[in-house]
Amino acid sequence: DQQVKQNSPSLSVQEGRISILNCDYTNSMFDYFLWYKKYPAEGPTFLISISSIKDKNEDGRFTVFLNKSAKHLSLHIVPSQPGDSAVYFCAASAPNTGNQFYFGTGTSLTVIP
């Protein structure tokens, strides 16, 4: 049973506009959430994270929003750049689970120049 879901397999955005990637989760015990970016033929790389005690975390062009009541998080990229074209995975972890991370299925973002 998929505990972390990314319902949009793909997203296309014009360069300079905002990209919004969404993620839903089912396990209310999750207390830490991360976004990873993956280019073809490479491993995922960490992008940004948020603890459940916050509802927003910002790092440059990237902002993650967490809505605990809706069990929903989103990643905003503003402005989007062609180099942001990649697959984005959201991940979640819960306390006392041996550092296990649960990953979504990924969203492929294409930023059109």
Partner 1 sequence: DAGITQSPRYKITETGRQVTLMCHQTWSHSYMFWYRQDLGHGLRLIYYSAAADITDKGEVPDGYVVSRSKTENFPLTLESATRSQTSVYFCASTYSYEQYFGPGTRLTVT
Site residues, partner 1 (CB under 8 A): 4, 6, 32, 34, 36, 41-46, 49, 89, 91, 93, 98-106
Q: Tell me the closest approach of the beta carbon of residue 23 to partner 1, in angstroms.
A: 11
Q: What is the DSSP pairing of strand 10-14 with strand 4-5?
A: unpaired
Q: Which is nearer to partner 1, 40 or 113 (CB)?
A: 40
Q: Which is nearer to partner 1, 15 or 110 (CB)?
A: 110
Q: Tell me the closest approach of the beta carbon of residue 112 to partner 1, in angstroms.
A: 23
Q: Which is nearer to partner 1, 32 or 65 (CB)?
A: 32
Q: Tell me the closest approach of the beta carbon of residue 13 to partner 1, in angstroms.
A: 21
Residue type for 90, please? C
Q: Tell me the closest approach of the beta carbon of residue 113 to partner 1, in angstroms.
A: 27
